[in-house]
Amino acid sequence: MDQISIVIADDHPLYREGVARTLMEDKALIVVGQAQDAGGAVELAARLKPDLLLLDISMPGGGGLAALREAITLPDAPKIAMLTASEEDDQVMQALKAGALGYVLKGVGARELVGIVKDLARGQTYVSPVLAGRLLASMRNGGAARPANPLADLSKREEDILRLVAEGKSNKEIGLTLDLQEKTVKHYMTSILQKLHLRNRVEAAVLAREHLRR
């Protein structure tokens, strides 16, 4: 990948411009557009076709969630992540369910943010650690009598696919790695989510990383 192009949407100009300056201190990153509301974010995403769209939750025009739901349907849609102060569980889950690859809290340090942005642009997932812990607790509490090893019911092939999902690989990349057709990988992913009682691949990646660290 050449320079990673980014659009930032936040209705606080000083914060937005500060994030832009921070990111562009790294020569691999370039902020190609800034928006102050949901409509502007979608318009810039459609026109500039950035690699990554960073959205605040609280913005005029319907907020970041509305922008996310619209931007993700664009032709050549960018990868999208939330960069926000909101720690509301409901908003975290809505964003992930709608297709956000990441949910980053505004307290993150400059150097860490640069690393997170690079990972997101490569298709990896990220949820701020404090939120990831709550997400895991919610997932565990939501399922009745989850086994000690939550991956125990997966086949070897499903576990191999889940490992690659946790590494941030797309279905196409997983297919190339495992010599499978992309549609076959999609079928496996559907089965994995059903077996683990999860809603999306971000939850699957979070659970896999927690388990695979052991």
- Give the residue extent of every domain in the chain: 4-134, 143-212
1.10.1740.10, 3.30.360.10, 1.10.10.10, 2.60.40.420: which CATH number matches 143-212?
Answer: 1.10.10.10
* Distance, CA of 150 to CA of 170 (rounded, Å): 22
Percentage of residues in the chain having pLDDT higher than 90 = 49
Percent of the chain scoring above 70 in pLDDT: 91
pLDDT, one tens digit per residue, over 51-72 is: 999 999 999 998 999 999 999 9
Backbone angles phi, psi at 86, to 5 degrees: -75, 125
Tell me what pLDDT residue 188 has.
Answer: 87
Q: 11 with 60: CB under 8 angstroms?
A: yes
Q: How many alpha carbons lie under 13 Å from residue 158 in its C-beta half-sphere?
A: 18
Confirm whether pTM is higher than 0.75.
no
* Cβ-Cβ contacts under 8 Å for 36 (sequence gap 6 or more): 9, 10, 11, 13, 16, 59, 60
Instruction: Calculate helix-pair angle for 182-196, 201-212, nearest 10 degrees.
Output: 70
CATH of 4-134, one of 3.30.2230.10, 3.40.50.2300, 3.40.50.300, 3.40.640.10: 3.40.50.2300
pLDDT band at 146 (very low <50, low <70, confident <90, very high): very low
pLDDT in tens, 16-55: 999 999 999 999 999 999 999 999 999 999 999 999 999 9
* pLDDT value, residue 212: 65
